């Protein structure tokens, strides 16, 4: 089997991925790229890396097969396009970009390069999403009636580019499980902003909303999805989760409701003080497996906590294994497999554009007092590109 040469770009979060790639049996070597020379040197000395770069363009001139970009949101578009145009397969952390123009540009660069692009969306490889996917594959959901995604997080004190970011510009963790499981193509969105933002937080992006709530309509589907995202000035603990309601069974999860709650309609009737009524509802808590059996044995441990960079100063951004509900090794394996099998990854350029555009268009709607904003037809755009390159 051909082995791949991988470059990790950005170590503050990317430090959670380098060791997974190094352990993967399909990887020949891993090189590191980080502008912070002190962080680069520290990480390399602890984990044993000797090919190091502080210059991204210089790294792209080497014989790497692929890069995994794990840098700040404003850089995603530029670094992704550079990688693809340099002939490298490219994985990038979420979101794909921050404007519709950036999404179209990445789809174009991917098509012209013929290389793989994958947005590394953690939420579709969590224990909880795997469980809901199994329910779906067994036909337990039947007709989906409604979906909901939520993500509450306060980003005060994070790197400066986060300051005042529109909540829906970082909405993929709430959007993606719904679109992944339903396979729905988003067609339009309406969104309202909520709350009052401190003026100092509005300076960078001109965003007045600490919270945004959107309703998404889908192409040729009768259901809708509601999304709520907060980033600032909201006194609430961290919450991540999603809900799927169908006519036969429902799934609901967030970090306040752990483990996930399953509700299933059963044949028969419940008795109440008003007499018998409807179908019987059975509710139970789900036990979600980490699905490590889907992975090569060499990286299975990374679905769980295993090591950290410095035991005396543990920090989530350099934690090894178990992060984002065990999703990281699943993402790495899917990206590498898509390259070796010469196929699109699950979150290819078009899919990633849809998942990201929901949030971009939602914020546009909020700035226009809830106007309905159509979501571009990225499939058609990609098909046009293909017809021109054949």
- Which residues, 6+ apart, have CB-to-CB distance to 268 below 8 Å? 279, 280
pLDDT of residue 198: 94
The least confident of 175-184, 317-326, 354-363 is: 317-326
pLDDT digits 0-9 by tens, 107-164: 999 999 999 999 999 999 999 999 999 999 999 888 999 999 999 999 988 999 999 9
pLDDT of residue 390: 47
Rounded Cα gap, residues 360 and 166, in angstroms: 9
Assess whether pLDDT exceeds 90 at residue 266: no
pLDDT of residue 309: 60
- Residues of the chain with pLDDT > 70, as a percent, come to 92
Beta bridge partners, 257, equal: 254
Is domain 124-289 in CATH 3.40.50.12780, yes or no?
no
Assess whether pLDDT exceeds 60 at residue 317: no
Rounded Cα gap, residues 88 and 80, in angstroms: 9
* Higher per-residue confidence, 48 vs 315: 48
Rounded Cα gap, residues 123 and 182, in angstroms: 14
CA distances from 13 to 16, 32, 94, 257, 316 (A): 6, 12, 12, 27, 8
* pLDDT bucket at 344, cuts 50 / 70 / 90: very high
Domain ranges of the chain: 4-122+296-349+376-389, 124-289
Mean pLDDT, residues 81-97: 98
pLDDT of residue 269: 65
* pLDDT bucket at 333, cuts 50 / 70 / 90: very high
Q: Which tokens belong to 319?
A: 């934690």
The number of residues in the chain equals: 390
Q: Do domains 4-122+296-349+376-389 and 124-289 have the same CATH topology?
A: no
pLDDT of residue 132: 94
Rounded Cα gap, residues 244 and 149, in angstroms: 9
Assess whether pLDDT exceeds 50 at residue 264: yes
- Share the mean pLDDT of the chain: 92
DSSP H helices, the chain, are: 18-23, 37-47, 56-60, 76-85, 100-113, 127-137, 172-182, 199-202, 323-326, 328-340, 349-367, 378-389
Rounded Cα gap, residues 63 and 66, in angstroms: 9
* Higher per-residue confidence, 228 vs 248: 228
Assess whether pLDDT exceeds 90 at residue 265: no
> Residue 35 in 3-state DSSP?
coil
Assess whether pLDDT exceeds 60 at residue 386: yes
Mean pLDDT, residues 37-52: 93
Mean pLDDT, residues 249-276: 73
- Which residues, 6+ apart, have CB-to-CB distance to 257 below 8 Å? 241
Write down the CATH superfamily of domain 4-122+296-349+376-389.
NAD(P)-binding Rossmann-like Domain (3.40.50.720)
Rounded Cα gap, residues 139 and 376, in angstroms: 31
Instruction: Compute the radius of gyration of the chain from its Cα atoms.
Output: 22
Mean pLDDT, residues 287-302: 94
Assess whether pLDDT exceeds 70 at residue 267: no
Tell me whether the omega of the peptide bond preceding residue 130 falls within 30 degrees of 0, making it cis.
Answer: no
pLDDT of residue 29: 97
The least confident of 168-182, 196-210, 375-389 is: 375-389
Cβ contact 147:178 at 8 Å: yes
> Residue 160 in 3-state DSSP?
helix
pLDDT of residue 321: 84
Tell me whether the omega of the peptide bond preceding residue 47 falls within 30 degrees of 0, making it cis.
Answer: no
Mean pLDDT, residues 96-111: 98
Q: In the block, which residue shows the tokens 């755009």?
A: 381
Mean pLDDT, residues 17-28: 97
The CA dihedral of 382, 383, 385, 389, to the nearest 10 degrees, is 130
CA distances from 40 to 35, 49, 91, 302 (A): 8, 10, 20, 22
pLDDT of residue 315: 57
CA nearest neighbour of 260 among 227, 230, 289 = 289
């Amino acid at each position: 089997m051909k082995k791949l040469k991988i470059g990790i770009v950005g170590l503050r979060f990317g430090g959670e991925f380098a060791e997974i790639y190094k352990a993967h049996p399909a990887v020949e070597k891993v090189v590191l790229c980080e502008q912070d020379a002190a962080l680069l040197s520290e990480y390399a000395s602890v984990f044993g890396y000797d090919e190091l770069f502080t210059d991204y363009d210089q790294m792209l001139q080497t014989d790497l097969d692929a890069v995994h970009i794990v840098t700040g949101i404003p850089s995603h578009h530029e670094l992704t396009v550079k990688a693809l145009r340099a002939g490298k397969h490219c994985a990038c952390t979420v979101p794909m970009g921050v404007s519709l123009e950036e999404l179209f540009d990445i789809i174009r660069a991917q098509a012209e390069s013929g290389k793989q692009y994958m947005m590394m969306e953690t939420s579709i490889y969590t224990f909880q999403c795997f469980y809901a996917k199994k329910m779906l594959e067994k036909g337990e959901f039947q007709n989906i009636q409604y979906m909901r995604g939520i993500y509450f997080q306060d980003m005060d004190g994070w790197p400066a580019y986060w300051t005042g970011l529109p909540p829906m510009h970082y909405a993929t963790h709430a959007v993606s499980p719904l679109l992944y499981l339903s396979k729905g193509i988003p067609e339009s969105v309406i969104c309202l902003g909520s709350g009052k933002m401190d003026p100092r937080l509005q300076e960078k992006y001109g965003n007045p909303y600490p919270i945004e709530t959107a309703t998404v309509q889908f192409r040729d589907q009768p259901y809708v999805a509601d999304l709520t995202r907060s980033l600032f000035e909201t006194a609430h603990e961290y919450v991540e989760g999603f809900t799927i309601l169908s006519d036969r069974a429902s799934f609901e999860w967030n970090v306040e409701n752990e483990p996930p709650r399953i509700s299933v309609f059963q044949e028969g009737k419940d008795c109440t003080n008003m007499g018998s009524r409807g179908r019987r509802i059975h509710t139970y808590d789900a036990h979600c497996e980490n699905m490590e059996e889907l992975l090569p044995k060499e990286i299975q441990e990374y679905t769980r906590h295993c090591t950290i960079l410095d035991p005396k100063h543990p920090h989530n951004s350099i934690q090894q294994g178990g992060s984002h509900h065990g999703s990281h090794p699943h993402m790495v394996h899917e990206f590498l497999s898509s390259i070796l099998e010469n196929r699109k990854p699950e979150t290819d350029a078009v899919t990633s554009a849809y998942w990201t555009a929901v949030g971009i268009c939602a914020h546009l709607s909020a700035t226009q007092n809830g106007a309905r904003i159509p979501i571009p037809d990225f499939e058609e755009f990609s098909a046009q590109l293909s017809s021109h390159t054949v």
